[in-house]
Amino acid sequence: MYIERALREAFLRGSDYFPAMLLVGPRQVGKTTFLRHLSSPERKYVTLDNMLDRDFAKRDPAGFLERYGAPVLIDEIQYAPELLPYLKIAIDQARHEHAEKARNMFWLTGSQQFQMMKGVSESLAGRIGILEMLGLSQREMNSSATVPFLPDNDFLAGPRPMTTPELFERIFLGSFPGMVQGGSEQRELFYSSYVQTYLERDIRDLGSVGDLDRFFRFLRSVAARTAQLLNYAELSRDADISIATAKSWLSILEASNLVYLLKPYANNLTSRLVKTPKLYLLDTGLAAFLTQWPTAAVLETGAMSGAFFETWCLAEILKSYYNSGKTRPGLFFYRDKDMKEIDLLIEQNGRLYPVEIKKTATPRRDDSRHFQVLRRFKKEIGMGAVVCMYPEVYPCGVDCRFIPAPLL
């Protein structure tokens, strides 16, 4: 059964404006299924996973576009960057002949951003809209409306409440559509196949990763450190690689949209802020597989339960922005040298919204005690939130509220 994706409206708006649209995201998050579901019957489809079509596109890009003319959906465009200048030529020619026809021409998907985005920015600037897709959000699974998360949103129309064990079942399974719809029986097979495909098809193609076994160890080390401050020394030690290699490999994971680096909030008014980003492996199901948690119940009571809960909440908030067409959300965290920390800062419309994330059903007002440090920035402070497992939205002070994580 197809699950309607929240990105639909943002993508169609962009497609009505731009001649080309690029949808990026990790493998298996549903990019192709989503776009084929949106496509009209006249839109042709070609995937560059097919080696014959890939070779044709690389060897004769003009002939390729003559065969697969607009409107067309080209899957995995990163395999043939040679097409990009020819897409520009086709778009400019259409604009010259009839400006109204130079819309909704090319739909593109990409699972890697490393080499692709440079070519896109050079060849298609002003001609292409770029959106990002991650796995299914909680709201998509529950057919609830999606808006960018802010603590002062109206949460009355959110999904039904969930218990902590129910939420950890979802955290354990992850958000890939194939996993959500396939169920836990195929979990081991799904994730082992996913990792093997990622290593063999995406990482090997880069050429810069010579040792796939070490890269797998590096990937596992990243998963074990989700929701922690980024520490290249520890990552390099775990995989027996240099720090320079660790930096290079992490950039690959980030460009593959598997990893998100949450930047620290920076302000010229103080020099006492931590400048190291926090590391998140966004799909908690993949992270649980890589760190070998056997069941959701063991994960819920294990040493990493808080880190997985925080990762899941961060990913859901990030999806709420991506699914609304906002690919550069103002998300940060706060930590200073006095060890005062705020898990998430959302900067929107000149305001700072502080968010603390706690895996507890009995939160305390004291959980928001560090929010007051934001006054030093002389910015307007919006409603704060403690995202937790309390069963309902409830005030925890004048400008703060408890928000149940399942309502994200």
Note whether 312 and 284 are within 8 A (CB): yes
Q: Tens of pLDDT along 80-96? A: 989 999 999 999 998 88
Q: Which amino acid is at 25?
A: G
Question: What pLDDT, on the 0 to 100 scale, is given for residue 197?
Answer: 86
HSE, side-chain direction, 13 A CA sphere, residue 275: 5
Helix or strand or coil: residue 380? strand
Predicted local distance difference test score (pLDDT) of residue 269: 56
List phi, psi (to 5°) of 143: 55, 40
CA angle 85, 88, 92 (to 5 degrees): 145
Q: Which pLDDT band, with edges at 50, 70 and 90, does 285 fall under?
A: very high
What is the mean predicted confidence (pLDDT) over 347-370? Answer: 94
For the cut 80, the answer to whether the pLDDT of residue 365 exceeds it is yes
Task: Give residue 63's pLDDT.
Answer: 96
Q: Where do the structural domains in the chain lie, given as residue ranges?
A: 8-132, 138-407
- The DSSP line for 185-250 is GGHHHHHHHHHHHIIIIIIHHHSS---HHHHHHHHHHHHHTTTEE--HHHHHHHHT--HHHHHHHH
> pLDDT tier at 15 (50, 70, 90 boundaries)?
very high
What is the token pair recorded at 403? 């928000």
- pLDDT over 90 at 166, yes or no: yes
Confidence of residue 2 (pLDDT cuts 50, 70, 90): confident
| Predicted pLDDT at 96 | 82
Confidence of residue 211 (pLDDT cuts 50, 70, 90): confident
Quick one: pLDDT band at residue 35, thresholds 50, 70, 90? very high
Please state which CATH class domain 8-132 belongs to.
alpha beta
Specify the pTM.
0.94
What confidence score (pLDDT) does residue 123 get?
76
Instruction: Tell me how far apart the alpha carbons of residues 402 and 389 are, in angstroms, rounded to a whole number.
Output: 9
The DSSP bridge pattern shows strands 228-229 and 278-281 to be antiparallel
The listed range with the strongest mean pLDDT (109-118, 297-306, 335-344, 363-372) is 297-306
What SS3 state is found at 260?
Answer: strand
pLDDT for the residue numbered 77: 92
Taking residues 152-177, what's their average pLDDT? 86
What is the average pLDDT across 320-328? 94
User: Is the per-residue pLDDT at 116 higher than 80?
Assistant: no
